[in-house]
Structure 1
């Protein structure tokens, strides 16, 4: 089962084909050619893509739900502050060559830090959404944040990142009283059913999958998280449900993959911030390296042999079990 991350409306069939194809490429690289061929032909129905992006548009604020100017807006600000801090730390950790490119990056980051800093500002002097747009505008001057990567405009960047804050705000109730995060998790429960499932989640989807699997009673032989923000200590980790964060009880194995250039995976070693379940299962984090400017994409992760190999082994184990 594939669980996507932030982003706009999706064509579920096209996404399923793309994710399955990338996973099959990774399986071939890992030596599982026969399974890769079956996965894209006769066994294609074994893969399910859970789409929930439509639930984020348009925003709902019924029943006192959060909006961009409420709890979700404050979380969005915190998210951008943490991303700026991570970029600044990465920049400071590198050798500081005295060239124009390094100095320009330092100047941009300093400007972003100043825009993200709300200390000393009168409450309400600048809306959370406007501050977020200002920071996003500055960050897009940096690679890979510019249009060559994922976002063409600051508004699109903030709109995508706002999905994280809206989910964690636990608001936006619908007419039946279900909050946005609950409606998102219900999509996963509908797809999971009662049979064992290998779950592969990306970006915001790792948050959704972790919380949904705590509520799920069937076995999960393998949970794979890709480019996960779960350990973001200001924004995500303290807002996860349940607290403190831990491995769901029915998860038998959890593999977490991160790319060194994936800024969404700010704190990639999840085992440092997640407790074990009763069986002692902890996430095991491994680094992968992808080519290109923008590495925070599910397809690039899935095409890695290190990612696809364990998925193939888990699928074969479930088939023979």
Structure 2
């Protein structure tokens, strides 16, 4: 093999690096076997330390006083971004509900009423409530959205506090604040974790959710080749919240990325605008993200493991890990 494999996680609580690596490699191995790469799948599940690593930055978000609740960002910028995220999430849910499909008319009308209520809570007319109400308002919206369960787009959150905590992590990263004693902002410290995992050799990068933002920005600072970047359930094209805040601007494929595949599930609300090639400029080699749809079973499809177990995802990863070094671009 000419490249290593580095996983980059997204939103969520604290993670056990060893356990997460085992879960992700196990899911990817299932996908590789389905794609006809049983030999490499066996190496993954055997725990070959030379193949892959897991960039774990979840502890950087941890607030020891929060005890599983929302983790405040400590500044108004993060509060404002959180409000935008919630508004965007509600709008995306409303679009999906209005799109028709299987639900009965009465179910659709119930969802519409819930979403109308959530929309009003997400964007109150009286903005004078100030930053004090930001987390409270977010919790109100999340509590309202819980009435939509078991609808897939919100089924992954067991409680309103967990939804707000997870979305607040996106806001805190994009706010570029929370400097530590040495002056390093939270987003910088997170990217440093990824750079450590990447090392100084070629690496195939598989990133999920918020991790796709982290990976994109980190790879812009990397001079070593990346044979393949895979993004799963990515929010990169959220045009009013994420895309305008990416660095550098305008958003583009990192210079040393040779191929970029972006996978999205039709029921993944985080990937509400999945066609990244419409919003990302090519690098000087002409590499653009190529978006491909996957369809997972079950209620909650945003899970990284569900994406990784797809043959369409795992096959290109296996090929990139075993390809000769002269691999071409997109």
Q: TM-score range by the shorter chain?
A: over 0.9
Partner of 2:106: 100
TM-score w.r.t. length of structure 2: 0.91
Report the Cα distance in structure 1 between the residues aligned to 2:176 and 2:242, rounded to whole angstroms: 12
Partner of 1:50: 55
Contact persistence 1:196–1:318 (CA under 8 A): no
Partner of 1:86: 92
- CA deviations over 1:265-321 (Å, ceiling 9, x no partner): 010000011100000000000000000000001100000000000000000015898
2:248 to 242, 250, 275: 242
Partner of 1:201: 207
Partner of 1:224: 230
Report the Cα distance in structure 1 between the residues aligned to 2:311 and 2:21, rounded to whole angstroms: 19
Give the superposition deviation at 1:127: 1.3
Please say if 1:138 is aligned against 2:118.
no
Contact persistence 1:73–1:128 (CA under 8 A): yes
TM-score w.r.t. length of structure 1: 0.93
CA RMSD of aligned residues (A): 2.2
Partner of 1:23: 28
Give aligned pairs, total.
316
Change (3 A) 1:99 1:42: closer
Report the Cα distance in structure 1 between the residues aligned to 2:8 and 2:111, rounded to whole angstroms: 34
Report the Cα distance in structure 1 between the residues aligned to 2:175 and 2:102, rounded to whole angstroms: 39
Q: Secondary structure at the match of 2:215?
A: helix
Partner of 2:266: 260
Q: Which runs of 5+ in 2 are unaligned?
A: 1-5, 66-71
Contact persistence 1:139–1:145 (CA under 8 A): no
Contact persistence 1:24–1:36 (CA under 8 A): yes
Q: Secondary structure at the match of 1:9?
A: coil
Partner of 1:41: 46
Give the superposition deviation at 1:86: 0.5
Give the superposition deviation at 1:159: 0.7
Q: Which runs of 5+ in 1 are unaligned?
A: 61-65
Moved over 4 A (4+): 95-98, 144-148, 318-321
Change (3 A) 1:98 1:156: closer
Contact persistence 2:173–2:187 (CA under 8 A): yes
Give the superposition deviation at 1:125: 8.6
Contact persistence 2:75–2:177 (CA under 8 A): no
Give the superposition deviation at 1:101: 1.1
Change (3 A) 1:318 1:141: farther
Deviates more, 1:128-137 or 1:118-127: 118-127
Report the Cα distance in structure 1 between the residues aligned to 2:300 and 2:20, rounded to whole angstroms: 18
Report the Cα distance in structure 2 between the residues aligned to 1:68 and 1:111, rounded to whole angstroms: 28
Report the Cα distance in structure 2 between the residues aligned to 1:220 and 1:271, rounded to whole angstroms: 18
Report the Cα distance in structure 2 between the residues aligned to 1:125 and 1:301, rounded to whole angstroms: 37
Q: Secondary structure at the match of 1:198?
A: strand
Q: Secondary structure at the match of 2:229?
A: strand
